[in-house]
Structure 1
Amino acid sequence: MAAGVRAAARIVAERDGRGGTALPVLAGDGPLALRRTRSVGAEARVTVVGAMSAPLGGDRIGLDVAVGPGARLWVGSAAATIALPGRSAEPAHYDVRLTVGDGATLCWLPEPLISARGSDLRMTCRVELAPTARLLLREEQVLGRAGEPPGRLTTRLTVYRAGRPLLDQELGYGPGAPGWDGGAVFGGHRATGQLLLVDPAFEDRPVPVRPLGETAVLTPLAGPAALATAVAPDALRLRRLFDDVAGRDGPGWCEAVQGAAVGRMFTC
């Protein structure tokens, strides 16, 4: 059997000494091509472009992002990531590590992950935040392409602030994950995700619990953070819900979001 692709990418953002953000390291290989896009104010922007089909069975892909003190970085992707079956029977692995320094801001806003039939993906995202770091993080998963059942998908998101756990969540969907499609979990929906906002300002102004329609809720975390979680019939409706949260609520309680969301983009 083929061993699968081994690929790694790294982004480093630092203050440039002129009130902006520089990108001294922007390196990717295999399926991870990194493209610098137009900066917005003091914020640098990077788009991840899929250079080949991935992740496939047996692939091991890693992406490391480090935002230095005082820097501001936005990272998105050019298109959805599709987990596909490969020639190897082994699961694919996609590991993301995000580090944000004091006074720095990271907007992590990739397009959705689609779990195609027959795929098996284990995905992790580990975030390490300095005490005064700010974070806007969006994760979206679509279970199966149109008219097909999903593959197997396991995701884990861990967030640490000042070395202490803020959020540790693992979810499993698809074949081999009992009960995932029941009424207490998905109830027939095929898109799910979360939007996480971390800002030291929440220490003085915590976010109240608030429903966001029938299948979503905004809740405070035990720290300066707020988490919106949702299920939806499709990716479009899921995105509209998260756009609403960031565009309408974000400016009122997080400096990391300035103004309303426009289309599919956020300004941080």
Structure 2
Amino acid sequence: MSVQATARIIAVADGRGATVLPVLESDGPLALRRTRATLAACARVTVVGAMSAPLGGDRLAIEARVEDDARLTVDSAAATVALPGPGPGIQGATYDIELHVGEGAELNWLPEQLISANGSELRVNTRVELAPSARLVLREEQILGRHGETTGTLFSRLTVRRAGRPLLDQHVAYGPGAPGGWDGGAVLGGHRAVGQLLVVDPAFDDTCPAARLLGPTAVRTPLAGPAVLVTAVAPDARALRTVLDGALDEVLGA
């Protein structure tokens, strides 16, 4: 039987320099837990998988709203594994993520990797709405297949709007059913780990990190707005995380 579940987070500034969580609603396999933040002013929520998901046919969603002047970090306790459905004829799964960040607010969206297991089909849609003075750090990592297996089918779309205007609209597709050439030299070149890091900061209106290569399979690109996008492919999850972590340190220290 497929699962439909929506988890919700609302973060609010308490007026004393800290952030509180008046809404923290878990649902189905999406268990949300308050965890200790490294900064006192920033609340932290960790997504804990309460069961195997997403399976074929599942409809999962997370909604997070960071109100004006609040600060929130969302991470996860482990990788998310997209798995085949329980039987033949089961449709693919969907995972929808809705993020809203208010004026002067900050969201660090840092989940662990998404693994596309052989035989699975998953569509991920991430939509972000940013106020003009909002700050965002968003990381996505996709691992195409578990160890020793080929990938499932993965379609992912990331849409970011700032002050009501489009900032980024990116689509990727891998595996059976994806457009031809997805594994060719111009796209993955045989790599099985792919990721991106988006940093949006109003301070970039004055000084934005310049475009540059971050090794043979990664690049940093300024966007038409106060934002920087890092895209990378790597042979495995560990190598990918090393590249993205180094890129984040460099961008924040720029």
TM normalised by structure 2 equals 0.97
Aligned pairs, how many? 250
Show the counterpart of 2:217.
215
Please give the residue correspondences for 1:212-251 in structure 2 after superposition, counting only pairs within 5 Å. 212-251=214-253
Show the counterpart of 1:55.
54
Conservation of the 8 A alpha-carbon contact between 2:123 and 2:155: yes
SS in 1 for 2:36: strand
CA-atom RMSD in angstroms: 0.8
Show the counterpart of 1:256.
none
Show the counterpart of 2:156.
155
Please give the residue correspondences for 1:31-70 in structure 2 after superposition, counting only pairs within 5 Å. 31-39=29-37, 40-70=39-69
1:23 aligns with 2:21: yes
The amino acid that maps onto 1:235 is A
Cα offsets for 1:86-130 (capped at 9, x unmatched):
125201000000000000000000000000000000000000000
The amino acid that maps onto 2:41 is A
SS in 1 for 2:138: strand
Name the CA distance, whole Å, in 2 between partners of 1:248 and 1:200: 17
Tell me, which stretches of 5 or more residues in structure 1 are unaligned? 253-268
SS in 1 for 2:247: helix
1:72 aligns with 2:71: yes
Name the CA distance, whole Å, in 2 between partners of 1:159 and 1:55: 24
Name the CA distance, whole Å, in 2 between partners of 1:41 and 1:242: 25
Cα offsets for 1:32-88 (capped at 9, x unmatched):
000001132200000000000000000000100000000000000000000000125
Name the CA distance, whole Å, in 1 between partners of 2:208 and 2:253: 14
TM normalised by structure 1 equals 0.92
**Offset at 1:249?**
3.0
**Quick check: 241-250 or 117-126, which moved more?**
241-250
Q: Which runs of 4+ in 1 moved over 3 A?
A: none
Of all paired residues, the percent bearing the same amino acid is 65
Name the CA distance, whole Å, in 1 between partners of 2:82 and 2:184: 23
Name the CA distance, whole Å, in 2 between partners of 1:250 and 1:230: 18
Name the CA distance, whole Å, in 2 between partners of 1:239 and 1:131: 29
The amino acid that maps onto 2:119 is G
SS in 2 for 1:56: coil
Name the CA distance, whole Å, in 1 between partners of 2:234 and 2:75: 22
Tell me, which stretches of 5 or more residues in structure 2 are unaligned? none
